[in-house]
Amino acid sequence: MRIAWQLEAFALCFAVPFLSELKISWAFAAAPLHFQHHGWPLWAFGATISLATLGRVAMNATLIAFGDWLILPTLLIATAGAAYMLVEPLSLAAVVAGVAAGHLTDTCQVQASLCYRWRIGEEAAQKRALRLQAFSATFGYSSGALLGGALYEHGGFRGCAVLQLGILAAMAAMTALLPVVQASCRDSRQRCGGGGKAAAAQMQHEPPPEATAQGVAAAAPAATSGGAEVEEALSIVGTNGWLLLPASLVWVCDGANIFVYICEWSLFAVYFADAYEWSSTLTGAAQMAGDLLAAAVLALTTTALWARLLRTDRTTRVVDRLLLQPPWNLGAFFGLYAATFVMLAQPIFALSVAGQVVMGTIYVFNKQAVQECYVALSHRSLALFRKLEFVGSCAFNLFMAASTTLAVVVYERVSMTAPFYMVAAVSGCWAAVVVGYWCVRLRGRIASAESFAAAEDALLERLRRRRAPARSGGGGVACTSVTFA
């Protein structure tokens, strides 16, 4: 039993997230070069990535509706697409099918849900497992840039097709054998067999609605007299839109972060080949360096060594404040994006590569900042956090779909450096918007992860006190408490 549990932990925390990102990222290093080599329009590659990314929204919605187990047949279909690409690597249709199959089956949402189910009731273990997933995913997509470039340079596109088929087949086999996936399938059958709301709640590892705070609030009288408690659900769009504006800004940051990143990811292989005649292997190595650096720093921050350094070392505290404390770091990162993309567009090789490396580091830190903003804005409500995450994932995929096509079209139709200057200008403007908004909302409060959450809690409490007299109805003293939808 112990060995079986360790194998499941390895699959959920490392193998699945690592392979999921690897099967996506290698294509950005190899597929554009393959398109160029055969005279296929580069916009076709961009359109393939964009349409596959849009397909993720429908796939994730289907998984939410029918259960996480549905990822298994999805992976099997994607495996068939990869096999078609291996058989016909010189066919445009086959290459499009194979690349799209790998890109569509992004398991980020599923693996987080399975991880939550796997360690249900163990909050500390859940957090550690999710951090391991994040590290493994970063290692996967950054390694894919190097592996894809090296495979294409030394083994041709057929070697890349073998890699894709092997990854998808391995993921399908692991998914079929995972007990947590099998449990998801059983829960879905129970729900379809008439288990009702209780079964559906069990499937999501949440108590039935009548057992939740929201359900209690809904079952309680709308208003009572003489000091009775009035409960009101706080949702994203409710309470006079209290959370809608900050949540919307963070959602745009989530989407803009991947938009900027994919604009460079879609072009780095062809850009460095066209501008500097640099090999795809070395280009991929530079592409992965910055991401791995950020992942290593994030891993370090979870250790006792980092906690000790924060207490004793002033430089560490400065780094922690600048890189790791939301929400102000969101604006700083978008400002740094503007600088790195200007560096990318320069004709000096070393400066351009430095921009490429630092850009990857910024992406990982910025994504982590977005996640921590979701945590602060959720006010310790899991239900609200899930809503913030789901809408954020939709923004992520929609922005990603738009970025690939736009980047390659501008690259082909305008100039090689035009996409980089475009992204630099947009990032700089958005950085000013982000910093300005948080200055107004938080009114100059010093930002740390704890003080940001505390500031949001204080703002919410002030809203509750302001709304309490309106709820009193003139009789007695009413106490207004807030629950989370």
The 10s digit of each residue's pLDDT in 102-158 is 988 887 777 777 776 787 656 556 666 766 777 788 888 878 877 888 888 888 899
Q: How does pLDDT run across 397-414, given as a tens digit for each residue?
A: 889 888 888 898 899 899
**pLDDT greater than 90 at residue 286:** no
Averaged pLDDT for residues 217-225: 34
**pLDDT greater than 60 at residue 301:** yes
Residues 272 and 184 in one domain: no
Residues 154 and 243 in one domain: no
Q: Which residue has the higher pLDDT, 388 or 248?
A: 248
Cβ–Cβ < 8 Å for 142, 25: yes
- pLDDT value for 344: 92
Residues 171 and 243 in one domain: no
Indicate which CATH number applies to the domain containing 326.
1.20.1250.20
Residues 121 and 250 in one domain: no
C-alpha–C-alpha distance, residues 5 and 1, integer Å: 6
- pLDDT value for 121: 57
Number of domains in the chain: 2
Q: Which of 163-172, 187-196, 258-267, 405-414 has the highest mean pLDDT?
A: 163-172
Residues 195 and 221 in one domain: no
C-alpha–C-alpha distance, residues 445 and 458, integer Å: 12
Residues 80 and 179 in one domain: yes
Choose one of 157, 183, 205: the last residue of a domain. 205
Domain that holds residue 282: 212-485
Residues 135 and 242 in one domain: no
Choose one of 150, 182, 205: the last residue of a domain. 205
- How confident is the prediction for the chain on average, in pLDDT? 79
Residues 300 and 368 in one domain: yes
- pLDDT value for 139: 85
Averaged pLDDT for residues 432-446: 80
- pLDDT value for 476: 41
- pLDDT value for 78: 92
Residues 180 and 275 in one domain: no
Averaged pLDDT for residues 382-392: 75
Residues 236 and 278 in one domain: yes
Averaged pLDDT for residues 292-303: 79
Three-state SS string over the chain comes to CHHHHHHHHHHHHHHHHHHHHHHHHHHHHHHHHHHHHCCCCHHHHHHHHHHHHHHHHHHHHHHHHHCHHHHHHHHHHHHHHHHHHHHCCCCHHHHHHHHHHHHHCCCHHHHHHHHHHHCCCCHHHHHHHHHHHHHHHHHHHHHHHHHHHHHHHHHHHHHHHHHHHHHHHHHHHHHHHCHHHHHHHHHHHHHHHHHHHHHHHHHCCCCCHHHCHHHHHHHCCCCCCCCCEEEEEECCCCHHHCCHHHHHHHHHHHHHHHHHHHHHHCCHHHHHHHHHCCCHHHHHHHHHHHHHHHHHHHHHCCCHHHHHHHHHCHHHHHHHHHHHCCCHHHHHHHHHHHHHHHHHCCCCHHHHHHHHHHHHHHHHHHHHHHHHHHHHHCCCCHHHHHHHHHHHHHHHHHHHHHHHHHHHHHHHHCCCCHHHHHHHHHHHHHHHHHHHHHHHHHCCCCCCHHHHHHHHHHHHHHHHHHHHHHHHCCCCCCEEEEEEC
Residues 192 and 227 in one domain: no
Q: How does pLDDT run across 175-198, given as a tens digit for each residue?
A: 999 888 888 888 888 877 655 444
Choose one of 154, 185, 205: the last residue of a domain. 205
Residues 236 and 173 in one domain: no
